[in-house]
Amino acid sequence: MTLMRGADAILDTLEAVGTDLLIGYIGHTTQELADATRERPGMRTMYPATELGGAHVINGYNIVKGRAAAAGLWHTCGTLLIPAALYEGMFSRIPSVHLGFNVDGSFQGRESMQEMPNVDVLTPMTRYSTRVERPDKLPETISRAAHRAHGAPAGPTFVDIPFDLTVDTAETTVPTGWSAPVNRSGADPEQIRAAARLLVGARRPVMIVGGGAVWSGADEEVARLAELLGIPVTTTFTSQGILPESHPLALGTSGPIGWRCANDWIADADVVLAVGSRLSEWGYAQSYTADMPGRLIHVDTDPAQLGNFYYPEIGVVADARTVLRQLVEAVGQDPGFVPTPYRDRAHFAAVREAKEKWVAGTRERALVEDSPISPWRVVSAIESALDPTDYIVSDAGNNTGWVFQGAAAERSRRLVTTAGAGVLGAGFPMALGVKLARPQSQVVVGVGDGGFGYAHNEIAFALRENIPVTVVVFNDSALGANKGFMTNLYGQPSWTALNNPDFVALARAYGADGERVEDAGQLDDAVKRGVASGTVYVIDVPIGQDYGYPATTSGGKVKWPARQWPADVIGTRSPGTFTRSTTG
Residues facing residue 96 across a β-bridge: 156
% of the chain exceeding 70 in pLDDT: 92
- pLDDT for the residue numbered 125: 95
* Reported pTM: 0.93
Domain locations in the chain? 2-172, 189-355, 367-542
Look at residue 290 in the predicted model and tell me its pLDDT. 64
Q: CATH number for the 189-355 domain, one of 3.30.450.20, 3.40.50.300, 3.40.50.1220, 3.40.710.10?
A: 3.40.50.1220
Enclosing H/E stretch for 452: helix 449-455
Q: Using N-to-C axis directions, what is the helix angle for 320-333 and 189-200, rounded to 10°?
A: 60
pLDDT at residue 552 in the model: 67
Pick the CATH number of 367-542 from 3.40.50.1820, 3.40.50.300, 2.40.30.10, 3.40.50.970: 3.40.50.970
Is pLDDT of 288 > 60? no
Quick check: 563 pLDDT over 50?
Answer: no
Query: Domain 2-172: which CATH class?
Result: alpha beta
- Per-residue model confidence as pLDDT tens digits over 75-91: 999 999 999 999 999 98
Characterize 246-280 residue by residue with b for buried, 16 or more Cβ atoms within 10 angstroms of its Cβ, and e for exposed. ebebbbbbbbbbbbbbbbbbbbebebbbbbbbbbb
Q: What is the mean pLDDT of residues 365-389?
A: 91
pLDDT for residue 232 is more than 60:
yes
Q: Do 367-542 and 189-355 have the same topology in CATH?
A: yes
* DSSP three-state, residue 265: helix
Find out whether 33 and 25 touch, Cβ atoms under 8 Å: no
CA distances from 287 to 282, 309, 409, 423 (A): 8, 13, 26, 15
d(CA 515, CA 522): 11
| Minimum mean pLDDT range among 119-133, 170-184, 469-483 | 170-184
In this prediction, residues 344-355 reach a mean pLDDT of 95
Structure confidence at residue 580 as a pLDDT band (50, 70, 90): very low
The candidate with the shortest Cα–Cα distance to 89, out of 47, 60, 110, 115, is 60
Please give the mean pLDDT across all residues of the chain: 89
Within 10 Å of residue 28's Cβ, how many Cβ atoms? 14
Of 215-224, 440-449, 475-484, 510-519, the poorest mean pLDDT is in 475-484
